Structure 1
């Protein structure tokens, strides 16, 4: 993936991702993207079965030669939701530290109508990712409630967009380990301003536009107050969509979700906040599900 294309996916667009992860990504790419300074606005998986993991997915004796994007463990489809979440990867499995909503959708719908599958598990360990595509997938999972049991078993943490997906599981079926986390119900946007660096390099950029707001947010010019206000309105709208979606999925008041202020919760604190149903190690949660289906 070219760095220019990667920058377009990361900067000046809304992300539902844990802020710490966003800063790690920024720090990792800073030198390659020519970023020397960052300013804030205010001044992988645990085995669910006794069998071992292989690469980014599970290696089971009954894996079919044609990959559906999930592993069939007994009569349970296990769908990995790992790494940074993006709208499209063109892959059914986690790839290069990313999972695509496109692959998750196909895997989920295939499992939903697979006659061999009696239940679906979202195996989640992700800091979140792109807003684009997230809430449509959340609604797809939520609308499938009642067709087959759907569980979210966190193999570590589900933050932001990953938590949105996890929250769509059936009531009472969101499990978090003691050291895992839930929450970060919020939206973030990182604006990069290269204008001083360009000036120092003797480069002047002139925008010729039709429409007063056409150049809003471009990294070659400082972010104006009207542009900031416009982007804040967009972020607020998406943030409220996030809050209302989690409130619906978890059957709790939107005011309670909003009051978290995108905070994160470790283990039992997430249960107390209404964001998870039980503290359980992934293998224990999976065994409990199997016993319920027996």
Structure 2
């Protein structure tokens, strides 16, 4: 980040600097012209002693919780930072919005291709169990795929734009085997381990049939959990969800399959939510 050429826009560089500020003991950021950078622009509090009451925006009584980029179990931040959103931040914002007297409804503003399985389904259950307390809408701008769709499915309604997408109800895991490439370069890696299965999945040895079967069983179990969760959330049969085979659906196709409720632009969806609130 420092003392090296970067190909990055100034706005993105400021966001990264804000994210790293605490780690480097930075309390103030300034632009080249001397103007101070407001840390609050990126979801960080730059005041001396005040902690903001809300980490989400409230517009006309609607709490807008942003869910964008890669989803991770723990980011440590309440808002998306550096292209990531943490399930921990989403859960905290949801809890606060549910208890916030100034919030009549909650809008999950989603644009994500998914992320980690760890922590995802606990968050999904928390959103699902909050149904009925306040209206919760998932408004996509543009897409909600995989883990992001799991989150969206827990909302009361899912609104997708014409060019947006839903789906990808599946789980994927990749194994890389460098053993032949290393052997070609004359490099031998010896795995010294206790426990027959300890080295399963190592990139330095070929994946054995037994290890592949074990990993496939884990992926299958997580996939079935995903299918069952979406089926419950969307009131669909598990067979119908499973038969999509992790397909993604564009706009109205998602409504037809049952993965979304309506096709609207995000601003139109927001106005629709306000109209429902009266």
TM-score range, shorter chain: 0.7 to 0.9
Aligned pair partner of 2:218 in 234, 240, 261: 234
Name the larger-Rg structure.
Answer: 2
Say which SS state the counterpart of residue 189 (structure 1) adopts. coil
Mapped to 2, the partners of 1:210 and 1:283 lie a distance apart of: 58
Instruction: State how 1:39-58 maps to structure 2 within 5 Å.
Output: none
Mapped to 1, the partners of 2:162 and 2:60 lie a distance apart of: 26
The answer to whether the aligner puts 1:220 opposite 2:207 as a matched pair is: no
**Aligned match of 1:196:** 180
Mapped to 1, the partners of 2:141 and 2:41 lie a distance apart of: 15
**Aligned match of 1:262:** 246
**1:65 CA drift (Å):** 6.9
Aligned pair partner of 2:64 in 78, 85, 105: 78
User: Which deviations, in whole Å up to 9, do the C-alpha atoms of 1:39-92 show, x marking residues without a partner?
Assistant: xxxxxxxxxxxxxxx9777xxxxxx97163311112110000000101111011
**Aligned match of 1:176:** 160
Conservation of the 8 A alpha-carbon contact between 1:79 and 1:120: yes
TM-score by length of structure 2 reads 0.81
* Cα 1:230–1:174 shift into 2, 3 Å: same
Instruction: State how 1:1-294 maps to structure 2 within 5 Å.
Output: 66=52, 68-170=54-156, 173-294=157-278
Conservation of the 8 A alpha-carbon contact between 1:69 and 1:104: no
Mapped to 1, the partners of 2:205 and 2:275 lie a distance apart of: 59
Conservation of the 8 A alpha-carbon contact between 1:180 and 1:267: yes
Conservation of the 8 A alpha-carbon contact between 1:184 and 1:262: yes
Mapped to 2, the partners of 1:67 and 1:125 lie a distance apart of: 25
Conservation of the 8 A alpha-carbon contact between 1:69 and 1:103: no
Q: Which has the higher contact order (CA 8 A, sep 6+)?
A: 1
Say which SS state the counterpart of residue 188 (structure 1) adopts. coil
**Aligned match of 1:61:** none
Say which SS state the counterpart of residue 170 (structure 2) adopts. coil
**1:149 CA drift (Å):** 0.7
Mapped to 1, the partners of 2:177 and 2:277 lie a distance apart of: 54
Mapped to 1, the partners of 2:254 and 2:55 lie a distance apart of: 29
Deviation >4 Å, runs of 4+ = 54-57
Moved more, 189-198 or 152-161: 189-198
Mapped to 2, the partners of 1:291 and 1:113 lie a distance apart of: 22
Q: Provide the aligned C-alpha RMSD in A.
A: 1.8
User: Which deviations, in whole Å up to 9, do the C-alpha atoms of 1:108-128 show, x marking residues without a partner?
Assistant: 111111111110000000000
**Aligned match of 1:21:** none
Mapped to 2, the partners of 1:135 and 1:195 lie a distance apart of: 35
**1:201 CA drift (Å):** 3.3
Mapped to 1, the partners of 2:90 and 2:234 lie a distance apart of: 21
User: Which deviations, in whole Å up to 9, do the C-alpha atoms of 1:110-165 show, x marking residues without a partner?
Assistant: 11111111100000000000000000000000000011110000010000000000
